[in-house]
Amino acid sequence: MVAELSAGARSPEFCTQQGFAFRSDWGVDGLEALAPDSVVVVVVDVLRFTSAVCCALESGAVVLPYRWNDSTASSYAAEHSAILAGRRELGEPSLSPTDLLTIEAGTRLVLPSPNGSALAFRARELGVRHVLAGCIRNAAATALAARRLADGGAISVIAAGERWGSADGPLRPAVEDQLGAGAILAALDPSASLSAPRCSPEAAAARAAFVAARPLVYDTLRQTASGRELVERGWDDDVATCAAHDVSTTVCHLVGNEFRSA
């Protein structure tokens, strides 16, 4: 046993957070560990995919997630009577949640993303019954919908994280996604009762992080690595849009290959 542990092995059954109603983990590996026993999976990519999805749906659009940097994205958009997101610098619809607040109602938008979109695709492939896109903006609404959809089953909140070096690099845990996951978990379990544990330790840690940061969540997001990058590019407005807590009642539900307002 000592030799096995020293080799870095960890048996998968110890990573499923069995026995808890509300669970949380990171990235595709965390999703794959929790998905088999989850009725609802909430994907959280605060800066900026799930915030962008929320803002687009607030405006009456439909979002089709897609793989990042895939040459077939244009043809995929055409096949689904949609437009492909482009670059904010060129005035195109993009991952900017601020701009998507004013997108024309009825727009069908293909929105590639290396993290949040990839998680949504993978959750669907794994057969998760209900996949939601959650963020700080719609935390309470997402939690309420998740509880209704789960009907007593397990809810897993997956923080997307970022990548080191490239879209294919190793996972970099991102504070903003931990806070977004924590905002949803705080709404799922507002009492945090110790007599009847609902959150797994992993979920409780994310919940506690958000509760501590909540009074200064905008300032905290600005100082994260992703937030600093957005501010440097002149997109502090996106950080503010993503940091707005519970300003939206929009529930972003993946139906087939489309995020729609539930």
According to the model, what pLDDT value does residue 246 have?
98
Number of domains in the chain: 1
| Residue 4 in domain | no
Measured CA to CA, the distance from residue 164 to residue 100 in angstroms comes to 27
Which residue range forms the structural domain that includes residue 256?
18-261
Residues 37, 38, 39, 42: what is their CA dihedral angle, to the nearest 10 degrees?
-170
For residue 240, the domain's CATH number is 3.90.1560.10
According to the model, what pLDDT value does residue 195 have?
45
**How far from 107 is each of 59, 97, 100, 113, CA to CA, in Å?**
9, 15, 10, 18
| Residue 80 in domain | yes
According to the model, what pLDDT value does residue 13 have?
76
According to the model, what pLDDT value does residue 9 have?
58
Measured CA to CA, the distance from residue 11 to residue 152 in angstroms comes to 27
- Does residue 261 sit in helix, strand or coil? strand
| Residue 5 in domain | no
According to the model, what pLDDT value does residue 137 have?
98
Burial class (CB within 10 angstroms; exposed 0-12, middle 13-18, buried 19+) of 211: middle
| Each residue's pLDDT tens digit, 10-42 | 667 789 999 999 999 999 999 999 999 999 999
The H-assigned helical ranges of the chain are 2-6, 27-34, 49-58, 73-79, 97-100, 116-125, 139-150, 175-188, 201-213, 217-223, 225-232, 236-243
Q: How far apart are the two ends of the chain, measured CA to CA in Å? A: 48
According to the model, what pLDDT value does residue 10 have?
62
| Residue 7 in domain | no
Extract the tokens encoding 100. Answer: 């998507």
| Residue 57 in domain | yes
According to the model, what pLDDT value does residue 86 have?
95
Peptide bond between residue 48 and the one before it cis (omega within 30 degrees of 0):
yes
Extract the tokens encoding 8. Answer: 């870095």
Q: Which parts of the chain have pLDDT scores under 70?
A: 1-11, 192-197
| Residue 10 in domain | no
| Each residue's pLDDT tens digit, 134-171 | 999 999 999 999 999 999 999 999 999 999 987 788 99
According to the model, what pLDDT value does residue 3 have?
44
| Residue 3 in domain | no
Measured CA to CA, the distance from residue 9 to residue 118 in angstroms comes to 26
Residues 92, 98, 102, 103: what is their CA dihedral angle, to the nearest 10 degrees?
40
CB 137 within 8 Å of CB 246: yes
| Residue 1 in domain | no
